[in-house]
Amino acid sequence: MDGEFLEEVSQGLVYETLRTYNRLPFAAWKHYERWNRSLSFFGLTAPITFERYMKILSEGIEKLEGEVRMKVYFSLKSHKVLVVFQPLPRANVEEGVSVKFARYRRIPDLSTPPFLKITGRTDIVLARRDIKDCYDVLIIGASGQLCEGSFSNVFLVKDGVLITPSLESGILDGITRENVIELAKSLDITVEERIVQAWEVFTADEVFLTHTSMGVVPVRKVENRILFEEEAGPITKTLMENFEPFALNRKENWVGAL
Ligand code: PDD
């Protein structure tokens, strides 16, 4: 392996994952701000302006066909920016996915802030090793609270109420999560952001995950518990159906893109 490359990687890469809808980078400003927040833990700010960031993204998108996934990396070693463009991976998740619990807990906030999106976070690296035959694994916090997946946020539905771990639970403030919360409110679904105990996934009526590439992903199975056989529960289905039109119509998701 190239020594210089190894040096770059071993010092850590601060990153963001974006996707396009209709070939435009979705929520690019929110991703840019979140990238900047990760950099601020190192006393740094983004080395490129938002305008330049958008230009780099649109030039890369043009070189591919269809919808695109972009990973924007910042090297803490060289301060170089590297953007990887790939066709957006497609997965058939509508029939529901399986999740399990990660063996290792979330690193306490005082040691590594959950908002820090950097390669090599041991809680995430170890959790991803446990994914194997499931879609994602759920990470539990030091006090037994439910946090998030290794690349997704998690929601429960109980008695018609939409419940999701609050930011104080020690999670990344997912951009899809925020859009889903706002969507649910617009549909008059009651939303509770609070500390959720990990065992609550076993008594929930519905469970789903959210993340950039796939939006709302229904969970069919948690460990050995099957939540549904054929179709996701009604609130999950409503949110799945309405997510795209809602997110596409929200002006703040398109700052600088139109
Ligand atoms: N993952 N939680 C963690 C730990 C994540 O890494 C991510 C994003 C999310 C969901 O956030 P958003 O809705 O903004 O994608 C939650 C990206 C997709 C990744 O790791 O590539």
State the distance from the centre of ligand 1 to the C-alpha of 43, rounded, in angstroms.
23
pLDDT greater than 80 at residue 59: yes
CB contact set of 236 (below 8 Å; sequence gap of 6+): 157, 206, 208, 216, 218
Rounded to the nearest integer, the mean pLDDT of the chain is: 96
pLDDT of the residue at 1: 67
State the distance from the centre of ligand 1 to the C-alpha of 57, rounded, in angstroms.
19
pLDDT greater than 90 at residue 171: yes
In the chain, the percentage of residues whose pLDDT exceeds 70 is 99
pLDDT of the residue at 249: 97
| Six token digits for residue 192 | 């509770």
Pocket test for ligand 1, best of 13, 15, 17, 164 (most atoms within 8 A of CB): 17
Q: Where are the domains of the chain?
A: 2-90, 97-248
pLDDT of the residue at 207: 98
The pTM for the full model equals: 0.97
Nearest to 97 by CA among 239, 214, 234: 214
Ligand 1 close to Cβ of residue 148 (< 6 A): yes
pLDDT of the residue at 258: 62
pLDDT greater than 70 at residue 157: yes
State the distance from the centre of ligand 1 to the C-alpha of 55, rounded, in angstroms.
23
pLDDT greater than 80 at residue 241: yes
Class of domain 97-248: alpha beta
Class of domain 2-90: alpha beta
Are domains 2-90 and 97-248 of this chain identical in fold? no
CA 158, CA 204: separation in Å to the nearest integer? 5
pLDDT band of 7, cuts 50, 70, 90: confident
31-43 pLDDT per residue, tens: 999 999 999 999 9
| Six token digits for residue 157 | 């539905």
Q: Looking at ligand 1, which residue's alpha carbon is closest to its atom 12?
A: 174
Ligand 1 close to Cβ of residue 164 (< 6 A): no
In the chain, the percentage of residues whose pLDDT exceeds 90 is 94
